[in-house]
């Protein structure tokens, strides 16, 4: 079982940021990643469609017999994580919402926390509920255009900056000291987001928190692989012109990737 890979899926290339952090923290683990780039974005879809896509993604990963699956999509984590846990009872899942919330609560000083995400993630209210339960003041904003911007490869230019300025202007008024990037696509835009919100705002990147959570679960269940460096397998349901750019943007070494139609 220790040799079995960690499975990770997302609606597109955003979850590659989770892959990067898991490689950094767990370099000996084998990883199989699936990005559903043919059907991105998930954040504008209905709850039932999101659940169906998520189930398809898990079924793809199950072919590789993962010892744990990371739901690297905030929309799926918000709408379908409980559904997946009930549907696939023998699989350990890590979602991206809870680790981000736990970190934000830990670092905030004035209890004013901003959350940005897809329309689906924000509409689900999951972030707002978990933070409010811990007596936090929550200011949420959906930023749907961020995902296609990232999928287009516009990580830092005048257009991405202007859109970030428009989206975040309202949240800034509330004097937040912490901002959760509630979508794994958003770390690609961290530099422009930082310019808009300022240096004094703590930005929570879910990818690192998820990697730490994954490590803790594997250690607790005696599933850590202790051999040589692990192998990385990246699969996408469609390979557009910016998949390669995203991989080059995140990873120093060459990582192979493949197109799959088996979804």
Domains defined for the chain, CATH in brackets: 6-96+208-259 (3.40.50.1860), 97-206 (3.40.50.1860)
Look at residue 221 and give its three-state secondary structure: coil
Q: Which residues belong to the active site?
A: 73, 183
Cβ neighbours of residue 7 closer than 8 Å, sequence gap 6 or more: 32, 33, 34, 58, 61, 62, 64, 66, 68, 69, 70
Phi, psi of 129, rounded to the nearest 5 degrees? -65, -50
Alpha-carbon Rg for the chain, nearest whole angstrom, is 17
User: What number of CA atoms fall less than 13 Å from residue 200's CA on the CB side?
Assistant: 7
Look at residue 76 and give its three-state secondary structure: helix
Please, are residues 148 and 41 in contact by the beta-carbon 8 Å criterion? yes
pLDDT attached to residue 12: 87
* Residue found by looking up tokens 């974005």 in the block: 41
- Judged on CB neighbours under 10 Å (0-12, 13-18, 19+), 79 is buried
Where would I find the beta strands (DSSP E) of the chain?
6-10, 31-35, 68-71, 93-95, 112-117, 137-142, 178-182, 202-204, 232-236, 257-259
Please, are residues 252 and 23 in contact by the beta-carbon 8 Å criterion? no
Sheet holding 137-142, edge to edge: 137-142, 112-117, 178-182, 202-204
Please, are residues 93 and 66 in contact by the beta-carbon 8 Å criterion? no
pLDDT attached to residue 241: 74
pLDDT attached to residue 247: 81
pLDDT attached to residue 263: 59
Residue-level pLDDT, tens digit, the chain, 263 residues:
689 999 999 998 889 989 999 999 999 999 999 999 999 889 889 999 999 999 999 999 999 999 999 999 989 999 999 999 999 999 999 999 999 999 999 999 999 999 999 898 899 999 999 999 999 999 999 999 998 888 788 888 899 999 999 999 999 999 999 999 998 889 889 999 999 999 999 999 888 889 999 999 999 999 999 888 899 999 999 987 777 777 877 776 667 666 676 65
Question: Across-strand partners of 117?
Answer: 142, 182
């Amino acid at each position: 079982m220790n040799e079995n890979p960690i499975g990770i899926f997302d609606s597109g290339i955003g979850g590659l940021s989770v892959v990067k952090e898991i490689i950094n923290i767990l370099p000996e683990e084998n990883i199989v990643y699936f990005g559903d780039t043919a059907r991105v974005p998930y954040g504008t879809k209905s709850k039932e469609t999101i659940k169906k896509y998520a189930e398809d993604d898990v079924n793809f990963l199950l072919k590789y017999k993962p010892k744990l699956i990371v739901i690297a999509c905030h929309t799926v984590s918000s709408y379908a994580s409980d559904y997946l846990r009930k549907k696939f009872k023998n699989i350990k899942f890590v979602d991206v919402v809870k680790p981000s919330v736990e970190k934000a609560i830990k670092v905030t000083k004035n209890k004013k926390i901003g959350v940005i995400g897809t329309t689906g993630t924000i509409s689900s209210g999951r972030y707002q509920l978990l933070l409010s339960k811990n007596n936090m003041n929550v200011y949420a904003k959906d930023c749907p255009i961020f995902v296609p911007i990232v999928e287009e490869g516009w990580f830092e230019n005048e257009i991405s900056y202007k859109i970030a300025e428009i989206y975040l202007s309202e949240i800034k008024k509330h004097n937040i000291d912490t901002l959760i990037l509630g979508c794994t696509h958003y770390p690609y835009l961290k530099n422009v987001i930082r310019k808009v919100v300022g240096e004094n705002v703590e930005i929570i990147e879910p990818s690192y928190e998820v990697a730490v959570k994954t490590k803790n679960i594997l250690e607790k269940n005696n599933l850590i692989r202790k051999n040589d460096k692990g192998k990385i397998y990246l699969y996408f349901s469609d390979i557009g012109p910016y998949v390669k750019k995203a991989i080059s943007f995140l990873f120093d070494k060459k990582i192979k990737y493949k197109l799959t139609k088996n979804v």
